[in-house]
Amino acid sequence: MTPPPSTSHESTAVDATDATAALPSILDLSRDKLTATMLELGEKKFRADQLWRSIYHETAPSFDDMSTLSKPFRKSLGEKYSISSLEQAMFLTSADGTTSKALYKLHDGELIETVLMRYESDGHRRNRKTACISTQAGCALGCTFCATGQQGFRRNLTVGEIVAQVIEMQRIAHREDEVQMSEGKRTKGELQGVTNVVFMGMGEPLANYRNMMAAIKVLNDGQGLNIGARHITVSTVGLIPQILQLADEELQINLAISLHAPDNATRSQTMPINQRYPVEELIRACHKYADKTKRRIFFEYVLLKEQNDSIEQAQKLGRLLNGLHCHVNLIPVNPTKEGPFERTDLSAAKLFQGGLKQYGIPSTVRMEKGIDINAGCGQLRERAIDILGA
């Protein structure tokens, strides 16, 4: 599958049936399992290494494109496996070119979203391309401001379905790099592809813990996609047992907590999970995580007009996070069709930020990217159902 070039447009896919859709995806095999499977097929171990590199480092779209492998071997692989079960249903790029969003149909008809965000160097960080990926089809947690939460839960994604999203974004990023190189805007040594991955798409990553962790190991593999652990961020609404489990993984990944309110009364109005894991318990778990990992925690705080964006709430949040090694990302909400909340304006967001600063809590106001292409989580699926009748 070849995604369209990164220009402002909209595309939709027809209901073409892929003959390989019924085959198991080779992306669901861990590196050890892939090696064992190739040995069972009578191949040498180095063939498994070549195959792994072709799939993840070279992101070959088909077995036929893996020129380092013999033709009989490629034919045998194609009879037993598919590479990806993602079928592009829609692809949009924002007017400013910084954000692209893909809607993918899975083998069972479920729809998931993946976003590629492009950032120019700001003097502190170099140019980067961040893939925002999904871990579930839908979400069971029902956050009222989130389009995905309004759609309900259907199933967890497999390891292969998670990793395939990054591979698709990598192909897009590589093509963009090649175009820039041909135009003299980059040298070969500056080709970078996807530099960061954030588990902030559809679903709750920690509710699909095993597949999420297996996917991270594939992304982090030096002979594959080679995404550094410190460039991978996992976001959660606050599943305390899994947060503590993640602290024991000895990975240098980033943890982001979707907090969105400084107290139980306000948080429970928009995030039902707060009934199970109240704010105070969540923050205690965050202290344990930070103490054990020595890693800074990022708190995502979606600003909802006249709901959680007052200066008093900012000060309450400052007191709550005081003493915790953290950073707060303040994000004016992307309004949804069914959601009751309006967007906090920039001046109110800056006032909120000032309230946090009184308590020494570092923060950044992050204006959402891709509003014109429904880049908020779940919004493109919602739009596609309206357009395609999916």
SS3 363: strand
Report how far Cα 281 is from the mean position of its chain's Cα atoms: 26
CB-side exposure of 237: number of CA atoms within 13 Å? 26
Asked if residue 284 has pLDDT above 90, the reply is yes
Report how far Cα 306 is from the mean position of its chain's Cα atoms: 29
If you search the block for the tokens 């699909």, which residue do you land on? 208
Residue 325's region, left for phi above 0, alpha for psi from -120 to 50, else beta, is beta
The one catalytic residue among 143, 146, 326, 377: 377
Class of domain 24-80: mainly alpha
pLDDT (tens digit, 9 = 90+) per residue, 173-219?
Answer: 988 888 877 877 766 666 678 999 999 999 999 999 999 999 999 99
Residue pair 173/238 in contact by the 8 Å Cβ criterion: no
Note the pTM of the prediction, 2 decimals.
Answer: 0.87
Q: CA dist 96 to 7, 178, 198, 381, Å? A: 9, 20, 21, 22
Nearest to 298 by CA among 340, 331, 339: 331
Q: Dmax of the chain from CA atoms?
A: 69
SS3 216: helix
CB atoms within 10 A of CB 317: 27
- Give domain limits for the chain: 24-80, 87-388
Q: Count of H helices and E strands in the chain?
A: 11, 13
pLDDT (tens digit, 9 = 90+) per residue, 312-333?
Answer: 999 999 999 999 999 999 988 7
Residue pair 198/131 in contact by the 8 Å Cβ criterion: yes
Q: What is the mean pLDDT of the chain?
A: 86
Name the band, by pLDDT with cuts 50, 70 and 90, for residue 67: very high
pLDDT (tens digit, 9 = 90+) per residue, 7-31?
Answer: 334 443 334 344 445 799 999 999 9
Tell me, yes or no, if 326 is annotated catalytic. Answer: no
Asked if residue 382 has pLDDT above 80, the reply is no
The one catalytic residue among 43, 87, 110, 113: 113
Asked if residue 57 has pLDDT above 80, the reply is yes
CB atoms within 10 A of CB 62: 14
Least confident window among 120-129, 259-268, 275-284: 120-129
The CATH fold assigned to 87-388 is: TIM Barrel (3.20.20)
Residue pair 216/253 in contact by the 8 Å Cβ criterion: yes
Query: Residue 83 belongs to what H/E stretch?
Result: none
Tell me, yes or no, if 286 is annotated catalytic. Answer: no
Percent of the chain with pLDDT over 70: 83
User: What average pLDDT does this structure show over 262-278?
Assistant: 94
Q: How far apart are CA 224 and CA 71, in angstroms?
A: 22
Name the band, by pLDDT with cuts 50, 70 and 90, for residue 384: very low
Q: Quick check: do 24-80 and 87-388 share a fold?
A: no
What residues form DSSP beta bridges with 131? 116, 197
